[in-house]
């Protein structure tokens, strides 16, 4: 990733592209909803194997940026490349986990069933899950600490347990790129540490992990690179950018209170770039009715 603390977009350079395999490339991308722009003139390169935190104010375009990468939103202008081609061509190599799942939490689906959903793109339309698929699900649930809850109905889980279950679903898909919207928001510290350790393992194995966050302290502890966005890409590069008051001031504007050299977020973590509709948010200890 090209490191920058300037308020302009982060542009790719030919030498940087040649030096490393690029997982994500955005070139002068603008996009939004109806007539309202959410991302404007965004250019960005993210190398394969990076562990990236996307930070910025609520409504600043973090979720929109992930949707562009996932191919769920088409750009108005510019170009999005994912794993060397258009997002649609890479769909089976990408796992997108939104902040809140659009599901009926009372539906009788178990943790095992949720995780097995990650295998469906690999099965094809006529195949049923076989022993290899069951082993993959068992291993993933064991990794995220949810094997003991495999038969539990998903609506009976706490917020942190749901995040573990949906991370297992992403892992069993055997993807090259994870796009995670607020994966550790609202969970307790042990759960946060466990989930971030798993994501770090995935990045060390060569997979690319991109996660949005509103928690700068967690980002500074767990991520190696960061992208700051407030409609435009304000900065991208080493996690050390989070120590730059000018970067934080430009990215958050009035949403960040500067106390000496430290920034304090004055932000609502439940606001999205667009209306959430039927989405609901669960935190550690919350259980669906």
CATH of residue 83's domain is 3.40.50.300
The answer to whether residue 150 is domain-embedded is yes
Number of domains in the chain: 1
**Which pLDDT band, with edges at 50, 70 and 90, does 4 fall under?**
low
CA 238 – CA 102 distance, rounded (Å): 34
Residues contacting residue 105 through CB under 8 Å, at least 6 positions apart: 154, 155, 280, 288
What is the average pLDDT across 259-279? Answer: 46
Closest CA to 172 of 207, 208, 147, 140: 140
pLDDT number for residue 283 = 40
CA 142 – CA 136 distance, rounded (Å): 10
What is the average pLDDT across 172-178? Answer: 95
**Which pLDDT band, with edges at 50, 70 and 90, does 105 fall under?**
low
The answer to whether residue 1 is domain-embedded is no
**Which pLDDT band, with edges at 50, 70 and 90, does 256 fall under?**
low
pLDDT number for residue 128 = 86
Quote the domain boundaries for residue 253.
14-265
Closest CA to 182 of 97, 84, 246: 97
Percent of the chain with pLDDT over 90: 59
What is the average pLDDT across 210-228? Answer: 93
The answer to whether residue 120 is domain-embedded is yes
The answer to whether residue 21 is domain-embedded is yes
What is the average pLDDT across 134-145? Answer: 96
The answer to whether residue 9 is domain-embedded is no
pLDDT tens profile 141-173: 999 999 999 999 988 988 889 899 999 999 999
Mean pLDDT of the chain: 82
The answer to whether residue 175 is domain-embedded is yes
The answer to whether residue 287 is domain-embedded is no
pLDDT number for residue 215 = 87
The answer to whether residue 285 is domain-embedded is no
């Amino acid at each position: 990733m090209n490191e920058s603390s300037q308020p302009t977009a982060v542009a790719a350079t030919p030498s940087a592209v040649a030096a490393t395999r690029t997982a994500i490339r955005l070139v002068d991308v603008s996009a939004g909803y109806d007539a309202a722009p959410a991302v404007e003139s965004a250019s960005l390169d993210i190398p394969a194997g990076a562990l990236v935190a996307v930070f910025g104010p609520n409504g600043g375009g973090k979720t929109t940026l992930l949707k562009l990468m996932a191919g769920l939103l088409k750009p108005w202008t510019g170009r999005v490349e994912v794993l060397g081609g258009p997002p649609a061509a890479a769909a089976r190599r990408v796992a997108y986990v939104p902040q809140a799942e659009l599901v009926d939490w009372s539906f009788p689906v178990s943790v095992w069933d949720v995780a097995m959903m990650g295998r469906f793109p690999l099965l094809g339309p006529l195949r049923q899950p076989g022993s290899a698929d069951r082993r993959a699900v068992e291993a993933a649930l064991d990794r995220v600490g949810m094997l003991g809850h495999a038969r539990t109905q998903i609506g009976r889980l706490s917020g942190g347990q749901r995040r573990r279950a949906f991370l297992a679903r992403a892992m069993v898909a055997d993807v090259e790129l994870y796009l995670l919207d607020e994966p550790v928001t609202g969970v307790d510290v042990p759960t946060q540490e466990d989930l971030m350790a798993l994501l770090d393992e995935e990045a060390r194995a060569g997979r690319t992990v991109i996660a949005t966050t509103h928690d700068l302290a967690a980002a500074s502890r767990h991520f190696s690179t960061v992208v700051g966005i407030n409609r435009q890409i304000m900065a991208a590069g080493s996690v050390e950018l989070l120590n730059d008051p000018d970067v934080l001031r430009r990215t958050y504007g009035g949403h960040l209170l500067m106390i000496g050299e430290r920034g304090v977020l004055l932000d609502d973590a439940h606001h999205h770039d667009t209306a959430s509709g039927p989405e609901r948010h669960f935190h550690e200890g919350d259980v669906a009715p």
